[in-house]
Amino acid sequence: MPVECAYRFRFYPTPEQADVLNRTFGCVRVVYNRARAMRETAWAERKERCGFKQTNAMLTALKKQPAFAWLNAVSSVPLQQALRHLDTAYRNFFQRRAHYPQFRRKDGPQSAEFTKSGFRYRDGALTLAKMAEPLAVVWSRGLPSAPSTVTVTREPDGRWYVSCRVVAFTETLEGGDSVGLDLGLKDLAVLSTGEKIANPRHLAKRQKRLAREQRRLARKQKGSKNRAKARLKVARAHAAVRHARHDFLHKLSTRLIRENQTVCVETLLVKGMLKAKRHSKSIADAGWGELIRMLAYKAAWYGRTLVKIDRFYPSTKTCSACGTTGHALTLSDRAWTCPDCGAHHDRDHNAARNILAAGLAVTACGEGVSPGVLRHSGQSSMKQEPAP
């Protein structure tokens, strides 16, 4: 099955290549910010809508001005791609899929995207426009096809990465069981089989080192070289947390998809839960949303089914043995006994079993919305009989 994906590799640029890329990042940032300001001014003052066509004309006129002649020293492909990214950002905002586009900052991660006309890939060597030598990429694995786009990124910790967008071929997995997942903080996930996956708490484990580096950064004089070195150490401490979390979630999601034909999860409003002051840091550290996102696209890749249960479905307060619901439970009740049938339940295991039962009911009805993903409306219970 052909799927589009990105292969990310680390590379080590020469001083000349780093200079070209840094100038490209600066030009991309200037073009993006000027186009955003132009679109915002046009609507605020004249109620005019500006799209890629208008901003591209602005870029052409800007290159002809003597004060911006340095824009011609870099490849024009990343500059036009920046305008397309801005247009996509506005479209996502108006369709309520993202926040309002912000100005790009100089001290954050920097990136530039090259299409096929902006790079050359031959015999495992990747050469970007305006460069005479190929990049020293650490090819940890071979590319399944020639890349259609290449994105170069410089992270705040000083590391350089290149992402190649390719078409890969995945095999459809067959066999496997069905499993329900109940996500939490004490245990990251409790399966309907009774297995508990401990929460690794990546940020909490590295909080001491991160706090020490942040204190050292706060004492450095602004604009000094020592402050730049301290900022680099803080960025690397954050990168260690991010990389460890992504590695763990990738391994967990891959294992669940390979072992199970159907995976049922509860849809959580993580954005709203992060407003809780007491548990917001732990919720962000757990990465529930990223785990569900990985399960969704991997299920589509390998022919599996991911069922998303409505977050209002009372999975915790429903007895998985007799099906009665509405039991009064508090967050401190980690185990409870059903007053109707007398069954004793572990709170999270019981919720996982109910999520699995609701997910299997959805797959039986065939209420699909997109390939590999099904949804549960939460309007019916497990015990309800089908309509005649």
As annotated, the active-site residues are: 182, 266, 348
Q: How many CA atoms lie within 13 A of 287 on its CB side?
A: 22
Give the distance from CA 313 to its chain's centroid.
26
The single-letter code of the amino acid at 52 is: F
SS3 string of 303-359? CCEEEEECCCCCCCCCCCCCCCCCCCCCCCCCEEECCCCCCEEEHHHHHHHHHHHHH
Question: Which residue's entry shows tokens 């609507």?
Answer: 43
Helix (H) or strand (E) holding 299: helix 288-301
Sequence-ordered alpha helix ranges (H) in 108-224:
202-205, 207-219
- List Cα–Cα distances, 155 to 4, 138, 317, 369, in angstroms: 24, 17, 45, 36
Question: For residues 131 and 21, what is the distance between their CA atoms, to the nearest angstrom?
Answer: 10
Q: What is the DSSP letter of 81?
A: H
Residues 352, 182 contacting (CB under 8 angstroms): yes
Question: For residues 99 and 89, what is the distance between their CA atoms, to the nearest angstrom?
Answer: 8
Question: For residues 252 and 307, what is the distance between their CA atoms, to the nearest angstrom?
Answer: 17
Residues 261, 175 contacting (CB under 8 angstroms): yes
From the list 235, 381, 249, 232, the residue with the least C-alpha distance to 320 is 381
From the list 329, 323, 317, the residue with the least C-alpha distance to 361 is 323
- Segments of 55-176 assigned E as strands: 110-114, 119-122, 125-128, 149-154, 160-169
SS3 string of 239-292? HHHHHHHHHHHHHHHHHHHHHEEEEEEECCCHHHHCCCCCCHHHHHHHCHHHHH
Q: CA torsion sign, 136 to 140 to 142 to 144?
A: negative
